[in-house]
Amino acid sequence: MSNKISRRKLLRGVGVAVSLPWLETIADAAPVKGSETLTEPPLRLAYMFVPNGVRPDFWTPPGDGETYDVIPEHLKPLEKFKGDFTLLENLWNEQAQGRNGHWPKIPAWLSGGRVERTAGDDLNANAVSVDQVIAQRIGDKTPLPSFELGIDSIRSGIDTAGGGFARMYGSFLSWRDPRTPVAKEIIPQLAFDRIFRTTRKPVISSVDPTNQSVLTALQRDDASVLDLVPEDAKAVRREGSAGDKVRLDEYFESLRSVEVRLEAALKPQKRWINQGKFHMERPGPGIPETHAEHVKLMLDILILAFWTDATRMATFMFGDAQTMQDYSFLPGVRGGFHSISHHGDETAKREQYEKIINWHTEQEAYFLGRLKNLDEGGTSLLDNSMIVIGGSLKDGNRHLEEDLPLLIAGRGKGTLRPGRRVRAAARTPMCNLHLAMLNRMGIADKSFGDSTGPLEGLS
């Protein structure tokens, strides 16, 4: 007997059926009548993740003062932006301590949660990531509540040699709820189209007009079609493979996300309209031929999303938790990132590792430079942003977890004071940083994850 799920299958509930599988895209939506233009640029926030750690003494400046004169090797590509970013020191995620070198640290990076070992079909990060809290609370202000971008495709299987964790954990930064990761877009054309396209609401194939409970549910402001088909949705999920379960979860959550976006699109919104030019042609189909081209194109798309006020919350993964991206295109480098990161202090191999880290910093410099050169009525896009860049390991060779390599660029519309270093107390929760970002984004929560308070010293 076949376990395959029919592409024509319907999710059926009491008096309603929802067609599977995917949603169709439609052309640009017309501006909503009553929408207003903001009088000043909005605040944007991006978290940019770099895998496989750094060489610690090439990242952290000598001394312990707020100011520093010696630019560490890894930061030299960012030297001309020294006045635009703040180095953050002594932050960590306690729940990621000593469990595995890579996989469970990725969900914890934006949530502080303790990831559970599973068979891969029942993921549990035990937390919601900070970007999704923002998306859920204020994401209705833009067409895209959040924007998730990356380079590597989803990893599958269990890393039996690395603690027994599902590799899928290392593929997602964003978690909509403890069991639902948010898929990142890795294809430039599709990411570009998301900025300028909306999505159809799920097709409701049939509704029983005599069923008052269904009609009442559909009339609710917070109604979701998935609320009307709970049992059948669960049954479909049970029939699938481990990979299918993740895809189905993404689909079900996408339905909810689309509904939220459609509701937002029908409401008068205050949008920021930039007057300057940002020329970018629609990318071609598929993945670019070279890794360098792929990264730069995705960074440009992220800038475009902020520039057009399509979103104010984004995440970007330069690679997954244990990326084996081949960096042989760099002079003197031969092999994949993760294997080179375990250089064992062998000089020749360590030098290759250093070149890969420096290449990533060069891409960050490109990104910050473009943000800084985009004028928004007397201020720059960088001035009106908070760009958190870093990783979940300090030393990639030894898997050290304390004092994570982190910096925050931009001025946060005057709420950040860059050009220095902020040295928190040892083992300060990274969630303190997230709480500070939440507060600056207009969410007045008193705690987040294992925070002990908003990170001090940023302004």
Question: What would the pLDDT profile of 226-237 be if each residue is shown by its tens digit?
Answer: 454 445 555 655
29 against 368, higher pLDDT: 368
Residue range 300-313: mean pLDDT, rounded: 95
pLDDT score at 222: 42
76 against 17, higher pLDDT: 76
218 against 95, higher pLDDT: 95
Residue range 253-277: mean pLDDT, rounded: 63
Tell whether the model's pLDDT for residue 251 goes beyond 50. Answer: yes
- Identify the band that residue 4 occupies on the pLDDT scale cut at 50, 70 and 90: very low
Min mean pLDDT across 53-62, 88-97, 232-241 is at 232-241
Residue range 278-284: mean pLDDT, rounded: 88
248 against 271, higher pLDDT: 271
pLDDT score at 256: 57
Give the highest mean pLDDT range of 151-155, 163-167, 201-205, 300-304: 300-304
Residue range 423-446: mean pLDDT, rounded: 98
- Identify the band that residue 17 occupies on the pLDDT scale cut at 50, 70 and 90: very low
pTM, full prediction: 0.80
Average pLDDT of the chain to the nearest whole number? 82
pLDDT score at 458: 98
- Identify the band that residue 259 occupies on the pLDDT scale cut at 50, 70 and 90: low
Tell whether the model's pLDDT for residue 420 goes beyond 70. Answer: yes
* % of the chain beyond a pLDDT of 70: 76
Residue 143 structure tokens: 């067409």
Q: Is there a contact between 387 and 303 (Cβ–Cβ < 8 Å)?
A: no
pLDDT score at 37: 81
Residue range 119-124: mean pLDDT, rounded: 79
Phi then psi for residue 385, to 5 deg, are -135, 165
Tell whether the model's pLDDT for residue 208 goes beyond 70. Answer: no
Min mean pLDDT across 92-96, 103-107, 156-160, 424-428 is at 156-160
Residue range 124-131: mean pLDDT, rounded: 96
- Identify the band that residue 104 occupies on the pLDDT scale cut at 50, 70 and 90: confident
pLDDT score at 241: 61
- Identify the band that residue 148 occupies on the pLDDT scale cut at 50, 70 and 90: very high
pLDDT score at 382: 98
pLDDT score at 257: 57
* Cα distance between residue 446 and residue 449, in whole Å: 11
pLDDT score at 32: 44
Amino acid at 451: S
Tell whether the model's pLDDT for residue 268 goes beyond 90. Answer: no
- Identify the band that residue 121 occupies on the pLDDT scale cut at 50, 70 and 90: confident
pLDDT score at 12: 42
- Identify the band that residue 452 occupies on the pLDDT scale cut at 50, 70 and 90: very high
- Identify the band that residue 393 occupies on the pLDDT scale cut at 50, 70 and 90: very high
